[in-house]
């Protein structure tokens, strides 16, 4: 295969600016400002975020998950506790979240520590899910090698029949993680690749140091 040169694939960013004197002094509040603008922009799956972790060999790993809750205690997503990402977070809770809202020429990176949320919180969210998603949580041994698609379909149908006449309870191996942030970076695309990058670093409880980074 011949090399695919992508030299001419460029985009000039010029929609907004970001200044360290104008941002909210609280990074969660600043995230909420950008979040609300992204929601109003009707971006598809605005809550999609890349979760980056590290395995036991020091190899980075990343995948897209969905943000379900955020406030000053952290950013919450849900998964199978036996999955590859969960095993990695058990070994090393350091992780990074990345939001890319290309329509607004913005990115947000959040660095922090992940910990499992309470069982009650997980139950409350699980009960709000569609029936098919509930069954899928039981049927899928996430990240494991399986015999094939037919096996997955059979397993799904097994649990669908099992729960056809009763409440679908939360599986014991399923629940949420809360990423407690220690550092934020807000990125706003600008012309000539002179992008705005504002970093918030935790400087004591409730206090954040705000700095500009070179693009």
pLDDT in tens, 190-206: 999 999 999 999 998 88
Does residue 67 lie in a domain region? yes
- Which residue range(s) make up the domain with 55? 27-129+172-212
The structural domain count of the chain equals 1
Does residue 87 lie in a domain region? yes
Q: Which CATH number do you get for residue 52?
A: 2.30.110.10
**The pLDDT value given to residue 12:** 75
Does residue 162 lie in a domain region? no
**The pLDDT value given to residue 198:** 98
**The pLDDT value given to residue 8:** 73
Does residue 38 lie in a domain region? yes
pLDDT in tens, 100-138: 999 999 999 999 999 999 999 999 999 999 999 999 999
N-term to C-term CA, the chain: 34
Q: Which residues are catalytic?
A: 193
Low-confidence ranges of the chain (pLDDT < 70): 13
Does residue 105 lie in a domain region? yes
């Amino acid at each position: 295969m011949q090399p695919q040169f992508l030299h001419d694939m460029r985009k000039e960013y010029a929609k907004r600016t970001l200044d360290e004197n104008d941002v909210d002094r609280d990074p969660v509040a600043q995230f909420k400002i950008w979040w609300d603008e992204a929601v109003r922009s009707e971006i598809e799956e605005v809550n999609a975020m890349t979760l980056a972790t590290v395995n036991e060999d020091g190899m980075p790993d990343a995948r897209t998950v969905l943000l379900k809750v955020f406030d000053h205690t952290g950013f919450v997503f849900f998964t199978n506790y036996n999955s590859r990402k969960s095993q990695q977070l058990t070994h090393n809770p350091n992780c990074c979240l990345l939001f890319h809202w290309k329509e607004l020429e913005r990115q947000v990176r959040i660095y922090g520590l992940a910990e499992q949320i309470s069982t009650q919180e997980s139950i409350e969210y699980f009960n709000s899910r569609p029936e098919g998603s509930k069954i899928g949580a039981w049927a899928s041994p996430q990240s494991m090698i399986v015999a094939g698609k037919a096996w997955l379909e059979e397993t799904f149908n097994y649990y669908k029949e099992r729960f056809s006449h009763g409440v679908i309870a939360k599986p014991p191996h399923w629940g949420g993680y809360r990423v407690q942030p220690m550092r934020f970076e807000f990125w706003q695309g600008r012309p000539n690749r002179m992008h705005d990058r504002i970093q918030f670093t935790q400087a004591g409880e409730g206090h954040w140091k705000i700095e500009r980074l070179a693009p």
